[in-house]
Structure 1
Amino acid sequence: MTNAAAAMESYTRIHVGQGEHHVTDDPSVMLTTILGSCVAMCLRDPTAGVGGMNHFLLPEGDAGGLDAGRRYGAYAMEVLINDCLKAGARRDRMEAKLFGGGRMFDSLRDVGRANADFAERFLRDEGIALVGGSLRGNGGRRVQYWPVTGRALQRAVADAHAQVAPPPRRAAPVVDAGALELF
């Protein structure tokens, strides 16, 4: 086993699925998710050492109850921010990375773009700094995020059955304090 592989094994992996979120202050926790047209916000307060990730399916809609509401961005963003605040974060120190919003099929409405646009607008309206990530493009991605340090890794996910014209392109890394690494 290589040193990098051994280091990855020492983390507690927590998968964040559609409509879910997770907040932690544990430096050994790595949050993971797989995104297509969905978007995940990775949020943290670097001073408090607390952060988390959400994963939403659609920007907005008629929630019709708590469980149905979990799939919408408006709910997912608020619940992640509120849980970070409860864990000791301060809104004025929060920083976010956004991932996902891929165009998955040429023949359908571009839900990924709508999700990405919503997430960027939400952060702008809330005054939360967007410090990195990777939005839009074609195809899916796997994201790993360490909320305490802000480190994020992304890998393209190929789908042999996808009907997208050009092959997925790798997004250029965004240089920031919590660097985005592509693997």
Structure 2
Amino acid sequence: MSAVAASRYADLAKRPIHVVQGEHAISDDPDIVLTTILGSCVAACMRDPVARIGGMNHFLLPGGPKADGADGESVRYGVHAMELLVNALLARGARRERLEVKLFGGGRLVKGLTDVGASNARFAEEFLAAEKLNHVGGSLRGDSGRRIQYWPVSGRARQVFLGDDRKAFEAETFLPVPKPAPQTGALELF
């Protein structure tokens, strides 16, 4: 579980854990359900059925800047999210060759703009193939947002398509946090 998720959910063993952009969570508790809301983002749900541990991540873009300066931030971000989840599971006793992965998301919510969802979906599929991870299902692409529930120990997943895609788009959009004005000791008069 990421440090953010671990501290936020340390005492909530019987409650759902919501995974937001840039986070991942893992659990070996059969009562835990991991949840997220996806539009163009992708979530990978992974588990080791023998070690009885699993987890979920949620990434916004497929990667990061390449050495030649092409492609922008998309490739690295997805790689980072996938590697964090795999490594967290391995650190808790999972075996790479037993990992089962379900991929969700990658929808196209806004017509006429770059199809980031398709890029996310393609990246996730290519990552699994390159890393020789067992892709056992899920639901990628389409034109609807979706709410995902994943039980990491059993591998059970539930998907509900959202009727109002604007809500899904808003749910996975980060709003920038304004930086506080520096304290200079100056006096401001009105």
TM-score normalised by L of structure 2: 0.74
| Matching residue within 108, 128, 131 for 1:123 | 128
Percent identity reads 60
Instruction: After TM superposition, give the deviation of residue 72 of structure 1 in Å.
Output: 1.6
**Residue in structure 2 matched with residue 51 of structure 1 by the alignment:** 54
**Residue in structure 2 matched with residue 16 of structure 1 by the alignment:** 19
| Matching residue within 149, 165, 171 for 1:144 | 149
The 5 A counterparts of 1:58-69 are 58-62=61-65
**Residue in structure 1 matched with residue 116 of structure 2 by the alignment:** 111
Instruction: After TM superposition, give the deviation of residue 136 of structure 1 in Å.
Output: 0.1
Amino acid at match of 1:27: P
Structure 1 SS opposite 2:117 = helix
Supply the distance in 2 between the matched residues of 1:40 and 1:137 (Cα, whole angstroms): 15
TM-score normalised by L of structure 1: 0.77
Amino acid at match of 2:41: C
Can you give the 5+ residue segments of structure 1 that lack an aligned partner in the other structure?
1-9, 163-183
Amino acid at match of 1:138: D
Does the 8 Å contact 2:62/2:119 carry over to 1?
yes
Q: Which has the larger radius of gyration?
A: 2
Structure 2 SS opposite 1:80 = helix
Structure 2 SS opposite 1:73 = helix
Instruction: After TM superposition, give the deviation of residue 91 of structure 1 in Å.
Output: 0.1
Supply the distance in 2 between the matched residues of 1:60 and 1:93 (Cα, whole angstroms): 25
Supply the distance in 1 between the matched residues of 2:165 and 2:154 (Cα, whole angstroms): 34
Change (3 A) 1:46 1:161: closer
Change (3 A) 1:39 1:160: closer
Amino acid at match of 2:19: V
How many pairs does the alignment contain? 148
Where has structure 1 moved over 4 Å in runs of 4 or more?
none
Instruction: After TM superposition, give the deviation of residue 62 of structure 1 in Å.
Output: 3.9
1:7-40 deviations in whole A, cap 9, x for unaligned?
xxx9520000000000111111000000000000
Change (3 A) 1:53 1:161: closer
Coordinate RMSD, CA, aligned: 2.0
Structure 1 SS opposite 2:146 = strand
Does the 8 Å contact 2:144/2:165 carry over to 1?
no
1:57-104 deviations in whole A, cap 9, x for unaligned?
0001149xxxx99x9211000000000000110000001000000001
Please identify which structure carries the higher strand content. 1
Query: Is residue 2:83 matched to residue 1:78?
Result: yes
Change (3 A) 1:134 1:160: closer
| Matching residue within 22, 28, 34 for 1:25 | 28
